Structure 1
């Protein structure tokens, strides 16, 4: 469906201000008050809507929009601060808020009186955006089970509340279970000097290495000691085990029952109904297609790893994850002439952060203005107002370093979803990056996640909260971020900010070599992704008594590498929670990202005409159109597998 309303990203709007975060008020009180106020507003608006029951469809939809905005505001505060606030009491209060939001959302979706208000509405006379809101709202009610009998509705309510509790328990177990190994100083051989300096020898003569990203990524990449690498990888892949094994079994059971009560064969079928892919069975087909496309490339590059491993261990017949990253780095260094330790000298954190802002500002016509006196939840957080055409259109917060109790991965969180004339879009980028020199992989991650933040702000100026921000189908949301990664590989782009301590700009030939080296392993990386996708799909389609046994079976079928004895990576695989059966979406999005990127001239990635068209046709609309229509509008044709297949075959 195509909207008939113009998408003018610089149209004048009433002045709205960023959210007032607490300065003098204790954070615990502020989170509680913000949540309670927004939930109270939601209930009042819904009660008014049911009591008055206006016949005019547009009036109903606008009041519903206000209620959904308030509910979103409460949910955003809960979801963010349950994961990032340094005070455990605040995190726990935010977790309770998430439960309250989900309970109210479930209650609204199962309220037959509220459903009746919408069911009798006609879309006649509504513009296309309002028609889309009405259609999606009615679909939401159907998918919630509002048309089922009272006993079924009550059971669905119980199950949804239980699902939220299990989800929070899963995340908490991952956050709190930071494991470590202790090694002798000589076992740090191979690691960068600054990393070693940041890990002092303790009084007993040993060094602690944790499973947090800034420790585990460099260690498994550079540490010469094979047993120490294996010990750390094993610890990293047993985080939250055995606790989360039982949590996942409970979560899968809840989802199976919900799907069955709503008339779906599996949770994957239920989940896929509102995605681009359409059906659960299509997920399995997609996994098989990518596995087949990547098989030749995967086997070719794996054999290079095994050959390099045999130079150190002549009797080796295979290679597994504790050795893969280390030997892939050796192949890139020795055969492809890329030394990651040299590369990282060009990426001091502060330069990378500023460079990212400069590049995306130029590309999308945005101005990032540092707000030094902004209230934040931690001293690490940097805040920027976002201007477009001289007008403030949003605010972002960058929370980029690890700390105890914080979310362990990388993601963009909403703080406020933008609504025209009502509230300014605010987003938070949460990462766990090193404070000194960054690995180039960390630079790529930063570009990727920042893509979500740009999408959130640019798509936060419409009338309907439902379409605000990253509101497209879930299997498209990664595509814009995956495409932005390409700018982190371009010599001209990197030359604008990648400089070493002597002020030397990263050489273009080194960047080109990095790109060639990065292409090494893309086949077996794709197979790994398909293993993850198969895992998330299979666990939601088939009841599995022993998750680790099934994990080993799927790994044997899809991954290029064997299972590591004693590990249970599913217990910390956060996507089993958030993405449920839909981990395939990363690769699905990558297929589309490669196709969209084909519209850009590789020799001039800062071409503002193409970038502007992409911004206005793909990012600005948010959820106002189906993702396939957004892409077709930008490319002038339907998307295809061609660009992805060509890249994989190189």
Structure 2
């Protein structure tokens, strides 16, 4: 790869103009390319597909910038402009999928003399045209176009309501007893003697983990579980109805059937089977550990008969501290944010043969965003941005966003990690999350050297994309790995025996955590396969069926469940991917997680290929066999 220049981002004052020019310029380029292809299709089959690829590059360039800036830019006007740009891009993409003249050009390509990659491009293009409804009559195609526009607008409204609905509780300092001292120091009482605590993660997670006062934990749980209520209840009903009609017009029984067709799992009914299988596998472990929580709660509240939602994080921490000698407040003293961030770069650089070099020439959209050029064998292969702290109007969860999708010889892959971590000490769970999300960034960059834009980066089936990130979490649990960066303020390295106890303590609760994941997966599937007049009541029923913990009265968790937009009916993906991640990790030597041979084989056979092969093939190429449930089942049974 020649040394290509990364995308030059604008200063804040120029961001609005730059965003519009970038998105509309690429969109105009795509329009022109479509007109050219329809007016004078090349006679050479490969030339037709290369022209099709150019259209895809232009669309990716426009949509990547718009989707990122709508979630992270500090100026509301820029976020709004990005939302507007996404609407124009989505409308064009919908038109593209319904364009019969264009479809006939692509369908007429004789692929018999093309290589496997080009044939795969052609196969995916025809599949996507069919799934867009290009073969339907004029009336249906018109309605599908309208539905696509309404679905995008509804999804944007849903996400915006979550971003902008930051709730808070106000409590006395005494009601925050048990919180770490550095956290308390950062949250002084106001003139009225009360402390304001928000539902943003750096506030809500420590409160729900360490606050000794049950009323404080309950108030925070209620506030967090009501974000987006009541506005998003109506929005979700509209979104589910639009998706159901969309799937029906294309001949599918449910949205889940439509969505699963292009995933590893294949069908909506297979999702239900998977949820039930995992529910059964985790039943024993979940019951055992929930009983441990209840017995510990009864020491404080002898009349208690159930573990409530506000109890779970708190008593899980208590059990780990008392029964496994792991004190979360002691553990966090080894995880200063700046050390963790650098340690993550050092670990992944060593593991994958990469160098993360500060990009001094990069312009960023907020002062606390860091940027690095990614070097392999001394050559730049990409650029990353780390946007890791909360601010007003920013995306509230943790995710990797594309900025540029890589194209061989044309543009280097650039990705952005968007999280909401504290600037001081981190919980170890946050460290694990950082490793997980960074795994997506590594996948985006390493998989970005592709000729075909559709295969660039994290371009495998969607229910596989979490597996590489879930596997990278394992490095955040290894004593030798943590010893490279986990140090106290006095410079003392985290003790290996403490890490071992942390691993043992982490095993506690995996059963009921798995059941919680199945509860979320059931919501995701059920809301996309049946109509419910009262979503809260149905959520309550599903919680009773799958979760180990009862519904918290007068809460509406679904209205802040952002995955109902992005993942749709496919939240099962997280556990499906974990099955594969556990199997892939079994190929590594737990005594030396930096062993180069297996790490390089994994890098080159799973990450570097991007979407050029089906995920099952990538995994079998790495493992030398098809993946199984064995490693996952053994882990769950511990």
Q: TM-score category by the smaller chain?
A: over 0.9
- 1:629 counterpart = 2:588: no
Distance 2:6 2:28 in 1: 21
Structure 2: distance between partners of 1:27 and 1:273: 39
Aligned residue pairs total 638
Taking the aligned partners of 2:286 and 2:87, their CA distance within structure 1 comes to 43
- Per-residue deviation, residues 14-41 of structure 1 (Å, max 9, x unmatched): 3311001013861111111101110011
1:608 — aligned with what? 596
Query: 5 Å matches for 1:220-239?
Result: 220-239=208-227
2:276 is equivalent to residue 258 of structure 1: no
Aligned to 2:450: 462
**Paired position in structure 1 for 2:513:** 525
Give the equivalent residue in structure 2 for 1:211.
199
Moved more, 319-328 or 341-350: 319-328
TM (norm. structure 2) is 1.00
How far, CA to CA, are the matches of 2:392 and 2:79 in structure 1? Answer: 12
Contact 2:3 2:379 in 1 (8 A): no
- 3-state SS of 1:625 partner: coil
Cα shift at 1:497: 0.2
Instruction: Please say if 1:406 is aligned against 2:390.
Output: no
Contact 2:275 2:572 in 1 (8 A): yes
- The answer for the alignment partner of 2:143 in structure 1 is 155
RMSD: 0.7
Residue of structure 2 equivalent to 1:385: 373
Q: Distance in 1 between matches of 2:554 and 2:327?
A: 32
Shift of 1:119: 1.1
2:461 equivalent in structure 1: 473
1:220 deviates by: 0.3
**Is the partner of 2:334 in helix, strand or coil?**
coil
Partner of 1:329: 317
- Alpha-carbon deviation of 1:114? 0.5
Cα distance, 1:581 vs. partner?
Answer: 0.2
Return the TM-score normalized by structure 1: 0.98
Counterpart check, 1:31 vs 2:38: no
The aligned residue for residue 350 of structure 2 is: 362
Deviations 1:288-313 (A, max 9, x none): 00000000000000000000000111
Alignment of 1:440-459 (within 5 A): 440-459=428-447
**Cα distance in structure 2, aligned partners of 1:430 and 1:25:** 22
Where structure 2 has 5 or more consecutive residues not aligned to the other structure, the ranges are none
| Residue in structure 2 matched with residue 186 of structure 1 by the alignment | 174
- Per the alignment, residue 489 of structure 1 pairs with 477
The residue aligned with 2:407 is 419
**Matched residue, 2:283:** 295
The aligned residue for residue 60 of structure 2 is: 72
Q: Indicate the SS of the match to 1:505.
A: coil
Indicate the SS of the match to 1:540. coil
Task: Find the aligned partners of 1:368 and 1:238 in 2 and give their Cα distance.
Answer: 40
Alpha-carbon distance, 1:55 to partner: 2.7
CA distance in 2, matches of 1:392, 1:416: 14
- Tell me which residue corresponds to 2:165: 177
| 1:459-478, Cα deviation, whole Å (9 max, x unpaired) | 00110000000000000000
Pairing partner for 1:516 from 504, 515, 523:
504
- 1-structure distance, mates of 2:361, 2:60: 26
Pairwise mapping of residues 12-23 of structure 1 onto structure 2 (< 5 A)?
Answer: 13-23=1-11
Residues 147-180 of structure 1, C-alpha deviation per residue, up to 9 Å, x if partnerless?
Answer: 0001100000000000000000000000000000
Confirm or deny: 8 A CA contact 2:11 2:365 kept in the other structure: no
1:97 shift after superposition: 0.7
Q: Secondary structure at the match of 2:494?
A: coil
- Is 1:312 equivalent to 2:300 in the alignment? yes
CA distance in 1 between partners of 2:440 and 2:129 (Å) = 28
Q: Distance in 2 between matches of 1:434 and 1:291?
A: 34
* 3-state SS, counterpart of residue 527 of structure 2: helix
- 2:483 and 2:348 map into 1 onto residues whose CA distance is 14
